[in-house]
Amino acid sequence: MTDPIDRLIDHAARVRVSDIPAATVAFQRCRVLDNLGCLAAGHDQAGTAAALTLARRWSGAAEATVIGSAERLAAPQAAFVNAVRARALDFCDVLSPGWHPSSSDVPVALAAAELSGASGADVLAALAVGQDVGQRINRAAQANGFFYRGFDSNILGLFSGAVIAGRLLGLSRDALGHAIGLAFDFGIGTFQHYQDKALAVRISQGLVARHALEAVLMAAAGISGPRRVLAGETGFFRLYAPAEAELAVLDEGLGQRFLGEEATCFKLYPSCGVTLALTETLLDARRGGDLRPADIAEVAIRISPTMRVICGGAYAPTTTPEIDAQFSVRYVAANAMLRGRSTLAEFTAAAATAPDVIAFAGRMAIAEEPAFTHFDQCEATIRHSDGSQLVLPAQFGRGWPQNPASSDDLAAKFRQCVVFSGRETWIGRADRLIAAIDGLAEAPGVGALVEAFAA
């Protein structure tokens, strides 16, 4: 039984650490920095305590660390908790069209490295290979259409996570194939949890991390998985791809170019990635004096079809107002215009339920514009009470590859995250934490990094 996945499995099994370009290693280090900052910020957010309590019940071994403590759980359960925390505020990186790669990839890598004793260089190489495989599958699937038939695209994190853990735990080529098949068999999540603004958004990310590691451990124990993962009668492309997959994309430059950086966004604002350009454009207009909050009479925003599906609904915060805010064009716009800032503080439950913001958001007219083919493309038209009109087109907010964040931006974001956590030990040692991440490529293992966060 052959399948297009075989070429990717061969690639994932044979790539050596020395084959990974230095620029790719540096990018993977940025992923670790961004992810651990997001984990710190999300450490005590809604759903995380329940995730930890359940993971303790499900653990029968002490194999990997719950980041931020000295507590150790079974490796899949530690990865589960760490992934839920990293995704909790939706401030984590996003690869679009695609998935949230690092919020499951990094927890999987750290847990697997603790379990196996892998070096920091091994971890960064595994992250690079895993993301490369996931992105190749993603590009092939979405070459002729966007979205995954309503499934959460974090299904891709099962592929990347299985490759990462499989490499770090030393699986043979055949066992790695079974691990990837088992991970695919755990297919997970639908876009409904975004539209219904449920805590399942966060928990689903944790399940991706947990299942990826579980798949690898099962394969190592001799359990077989599906072989025709991509092109079987009910394989990935038939189940998830919106149209015919482009198989040639799978091995284009395979082994020479490691994909991921060209499509990854490091968010500088803590809301859905499709809203970043709108946020930045409105903040710039307000800072420049063109947008006058006290004099706004009407707001109309045209948004892409993708924005409409994910974030275009009415803003009526419920029992999870933080998630309602993160996935709302109306809230994001009202917040930027009224408050003139978009930090983690503006996406707390208290901020998201402020009566003035809710009322302002309710006055906006939102309309889908089919001509806006890029997912974050939008245009805000603002009319002031004196009759003056401001038209603000937006696309590619800072952080997207087309408008990349700088290393200083990422360091500043990390510090914002540790301050938001409220944990004095993290706040006082932010520079040391950044240095530990920067030195990962030369570290003999991940122990020093994990311990730095536990102090």
Spatial separation of the C-alpha atoms in residues 175 and 9, rounded to whole Å? 10
Same domain membership, residue 112 and residue 259: yes
Spatial separation of the C-alpha atoms in residues 157 and 141, rounded to whole Å? 14
Same domain membership, residue 200 and residue 287: no
In this predicted structure, what is the pLDDT of residue 1? Answer: 77
Same domain membership, residue 314 and residue 227: no
Mean pLDDT for each consecutive 10-residue tract of the chain (455 residues)? Answer: 95 98 98 98 96 97 97 98 97 90 98 98 98 97 85 92 98 98 91 88 96 98 98 95 94 96 96 96 97 96 94 94 96 98 97 98 97 94 96 95 95 97 94 97 97 90
In this predicted structure, what is the pLDDT of residue 8? Answer: 98
The residue out of 394, 412, 436 marking a domain boundary is 394
Same domain membership, residue 128 and residue 114: yes
The token pair that represents 172 in the structure block? 């043979």
Give the residue from 155, 229, 242, 234 showing the smallest Cα distance to 190: 155
Same domain membership, residue 184 and residue 249: yes
What pTM does this model have?
0.96
In this predicted structure, what is the pLDDT of residue 189? Answer: 83
In this predicted structure, what is the pLDDT of residue 416? Answer: 97
Q: Supply the CATH number for residue 299's domain.
A: 3.30.1330.120
Spatial separation of the C-alpha atoms in residues 303 and 379, rounded to whole Å? 7
What's the total number of domains in the chain? 2
Same domain membership, residue 249 and residue 150: yes
Same domain membership, residue 366 and residue 408: no
In this predicted structure, what is the pLDDT of residue 162? Answer: 98
Q: Supply the CATH number for residue 261's domain.
A: 1.10.4100.10
Same domain membership, residue 244 and residue 120: yes
Same domain membership, residue 295 and residue 237: no
Same domain membership, residue 381 and residue 297: yes
Contact 15, 129 (CB under 8 A): yes
Instruction: Tell me the DSSP string of 421-436.
Output: HT-HHHHTTHHHHHHH
- The amino acid that residue 162 corresponds to is A
Same domain membership, residue 238 and residue 134: yes
Give the residue from 78, 86, 99, 81 showing the smallest Cα distance to 33: 86
In this predicted structure, what is the pLDDT of residue 149? Answer: 83
The residue out of 354, 373, 394 marking a domain boundary is 394
Contacts of 309 (CB under 8 A, 6+ apart): 147, 191, 195
DSSP state for residue 247 in the 8-state scheme: G
Instruction: Tell me the DSSP string of 54-122.
Output: HHHHH--S--EE-TTSS-EE-HHHHHHHHHHHHHTTS-S-EESSS---HHHHHHHHHHHHHHHT--HHH
Same domain membership, residue 23 and residue 115: yes
The residue out of 377, 394, 411 marking a domain boundary is 394
By residue range, what is the domain housing residue 361?
A: 273-394
Find the Cα–Cα–Cα–Cα dihedral 277, 278, 280, 283, rounded to 10°.
Answer: 170
